């Protein structure tokens, strides 16, 4: 079983550039032979941040589909689908469908998969991409042994599947 662990990057504080811009000054790479003594990542509690996504292999399905490794096919997609200027997450996996996590701020997320109309737990999703097809972020999801999906953002927190109508849905094997 693979477990997805989220960590939060803790950036180093830098001063503004001499010209007063918000861009930090350019600095050469540090010598990597020196030991890093400061904390670079912090493990975050899944219950606190609201992400309980687990990527599990299904060995029966693996044998049935003659796939060498059913761990292949997990993906991460980041984008602001709801326009609140916070990065939301889509996570994919072979068993249990994809999950859409809405960023509610302070590095906390809410699983909105069902309410967003993305609740197909039988889909082996191999990856996802946000794309702006009609003035907001729509979602394209690649499937293994199932048709790909194109979810059109309705602007109200919900998506509607339109892959077949758009001609982007390859047939299942």
Report pLDDT for 108: 95
**Calpha distance 120→124 (Å, rounded):** 9
Report pLDDT for 12: 44
Report pLDDT for 37: 74
**Calpha distance 171→173 (Å, rounded):** 6
**Calpha distance 151→139 (Å, rounded):** 5
Tell me if residue 112 falls in helix, strand or coil: coil
Task: Give which of 168, 84, 74, 77 is closest to 130, Cα–Cα.
Answer: 77
DSSP per residue over 44-81, as a string? --HHHHT---EE---HHHHHHHT-S-TTTT-EEEEE-T
Separation in Å, CA 74 to CA 13, 35, 97, 153: 33, 33, 10, 22
Q: How does pLDDT run along the chain (173 residues), one tens digit per residue? A: 334 444 444 444 444 444 455 555 656 655 666 666 777 788 888 898 988 887 766 666 655 555 554 445 688 999 999 999 999 999 998 878 899 999 999 989 999 999 999 988 778 888 999 999 998 999 999 888 788 899 999 999 999 999 889 888 766 55
Pair of tokens at residue 49: 């941040």
**Calpha distance 16→162 (Å, rounded):** 46
Reported as type and span, the H/E element at residue 92 is strand 88-92
Task: Give which of 82, 56, 61 is closest to 139, Cα–Cα.
Answer: 82
b/e code 40-49 from CB counts within 10 Å (16+ = b): eeeeeebeeb
Report pLDDT for 113: 96
């Amino acid at each position: 079983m693979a477990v997805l662990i989220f960590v939060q990057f803790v950036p180093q504080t830098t001063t503004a550039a001499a010209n007063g811009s918000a861009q930090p000054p350019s600095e050469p790479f540090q010598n990597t032979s020196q030991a890093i003594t400061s904390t670079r990542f912090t493990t975050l509690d899944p219950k606190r941040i609201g992400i309980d996504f687990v990527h599990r292999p299904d060995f029966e399905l693996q044998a049935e589909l003659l796939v060498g490794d059913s761990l292949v096919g997990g993906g991460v997609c980041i984008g602001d689908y709801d326009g609140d200027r916070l990065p939301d997450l889509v996570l994919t996996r072979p068993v249990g469908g994809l999950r859409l996590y809405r960023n509610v701020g302070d590095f906390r997320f809410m699983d909105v998969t069902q309410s967003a109309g993305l609740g197909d737990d039988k889909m082996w999703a191999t990856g996802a991409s946000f794309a702006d097809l009609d003035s907001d972020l729509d979602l394209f999801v690649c499937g293994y042994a199932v048709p790909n999906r194109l979810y059109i953002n309705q602007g109200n927190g919900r998506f509607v599947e339109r892959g077949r109508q758009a001609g982007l849905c390859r047939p299942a094997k």
